[in-house]
Amino acid sequence: MVNSKPNINIVFIGHVNSGKSTTAGHLLYKLGGIQKSAIEALGKEAAEMKMRSFKYAWVLDKLKAERERGITIDISMWISLIKNMIIGTSEADCAVLVINSTTLGLQAGWSKDGQTWEHALLAYTLGVRQMICCCNKMNATTPKYSKDRYEVIVKGVSPALTRIGYNADDIPFVPISAIDQISEPKRPEGKPLRLPLQHVYKIGGIGTVPVGRVETGVLKPGMVLTFAPTKLQSGVKSIQKFQENINEALPADIVGFRLTNKTLSDKNLMRGYVASNSEDEPAMEAAKFTSRVIIINHPSVITKGYTPILDCHTSHVAVKFAKLATKFDRETGVELEKKPKSLKNGDAGIVKMIPMKPMVVEGINEYPSLGRFAVRDMRQTVAVGVIMSVKKNGYKNKAATKMTGSTTDQKDDAETSSKKRKEGPFETVSAETPSKNVSGLVIGDDGLLHRKNVMSSVT
């Protein structure tokens, strides 16, 4: 039988070269997830390549190219591969934010092109409410393991995370040995099955094996599944978790399952599809949906017809901003303008969206993990939001009416707006920089927008 302990899914995030792979690999070794002989072999190989410090990172680096380059590709933090990071984070219960404690490393993570702030924002947007900050590379501070340096990091990072929506008092800035501070999240009960697919494998002698995390409901052998947004169906032959057969998969379980329909393969089942029980409110294709959106980093303004990429659960699909319904005050929620012509950085609005390809999304109140999203364009996160309601195909649908409009080419000061977004606590500034009032907009679990204010000293 599989261990009955509850599953806690953890994602390691942070700026490139902050030490995510080494930290996660070392943790796996300490917990008995990899044999000593394997670590010794990796250490020998790393020494031969004059990269001794990479032996623990290579626990996660599966390809020779990854080892030679010194990066982990599976959930890479490079800007061009951040889509994988979003998919991995969407399945997590807790995030470990790995921070480079050295002066230059810390500044790089919070710079205009740094990833620390964006990863923390994406984690919160995708529903990860628990975080541990790992102050890494303390051995490289001056002096080594400097208490003063540690306190500077805590003092600087805490307000930035508060701006995003986290409660800094609940975030431990501790060594990885404090991993037992993660509590089991409350799992949804009484909901129909929703299982977004992360991978689909074709295994010789076994058949097609989709893999994904159960977000709601229960998956059992013998169940007939529908794979939305298509109408493809198959029975479940067996379910595996940690390479052992199980009788049912519950919320938060990441499982693989064999299918009875031999015509299904990785050619017609894809990442982003959602498996559901065909006999219990099955998932359906979204024709259009209404969302609350916060614009955080667009170089110009967003108008009707704007078509960026929307990342929701494991789905990665272009959507059209078909209608800008309202713009409202972020602090009070009071409507400011009906049918605004545009939305710019800092604006909050209600937007009606139409997917450019078939996709599955749900309302934030019904299925929270399928109702949060990030909007990406130009290799960066330009907006975040939650889905209020969904019009699904299969009903009388007026969404087929042709929508007109185009993306804007108006010229705002892109550098200025980007600087405002990326302004972090570790940019190089003079010692005389005064304290300033930093305000952050928070998307709560209720799907509403909330404002937080915090005094932050930039040092």
Establish if 58 belongs to a structural domain: yes
Last residue of a domain, one of 236, 251, 277: 277
Tell me the per-residue pLDDT of 126-136, one tens digit each, with 9 for 90 and over.
889 999 998 88
Whether residues 374 and 297 fall in one domain: yes
Domain membership of residue 433 (yes or no) is: no
Of 181, 214, 229, which marks where a domain is finished? Answer: 181
- Tokens for 141, please give them: 């501070």
The answer to whether position 443 is within a domain reads no
pLDDT digits (tens, 9 = 90+) for 340-386: 999 999 899 999 999 999 999 999 999 999 999 999 998 889 999 99
Is the model's pLDDT at 27 over the cut of 80? no
> In this structure, what CATH number is given to the domain that contains residue 407?
2.40.30.10
- State yes or no: pLDDT of 73 exceeds 50: no
> Are 156 and 301 contained in the same domain?
no
In a domain, 229, yes or no: yes
pLDDT at 44: 60
Residue 246 lies in a domain: yes
Looking at the structure, tell me whether residues 52 and 114 fall in a common domain.
yes
Residue 442 belongs to a domain: no
Whether residues 294 and 384 share a domain: the answer is yes
Instruction: Examine the domain organization and report whether 158 and 51 are in the same domain.
Output: yes
Domain extent at residue 218: 195-277
pLDDT at residue 185 is higher than 50 = yes
Among 277, 305, 330, residue at a domain's last position: 277
Asked if residue 215 and residue 83 are part of one domain, the reply reads no
**Same domain, residue pair 75 and 34:** yes
- Return d(Cα 70, Cα 81) in angstroms, integer: 15
44 domain residue, yes or no: yes
Which two structure tokens, joined as six digits, stand for 252? 């938060």
Please count the structural domains in the chain: 3
In this structure, are strands 449-456 and 436-443 parallel, antiparallel, or unpaired? Answer: antiparallel
408-422 pLDDT, tens per residue?
333 333 333 333 333
Same domain, 50 and 156: yes
153 inside domain = yes
Hey, what are 299's tokens? 């170089």
Q: Are residue 45 and residue 169 in the same domain, yes or no?
A: yes
pTM: 0.62
Q: Is a pLDDT exceeding 90 seen at residue 256? A: yes
Residues 17 and 147 in one domain: yes
The model's pLDDT over 275-334, given as tens digits with 9 standing for 90+, comes to: 999 999 999 999 999 999 999 889 999 999 999 999 999 999 999 999 999 998 877 788
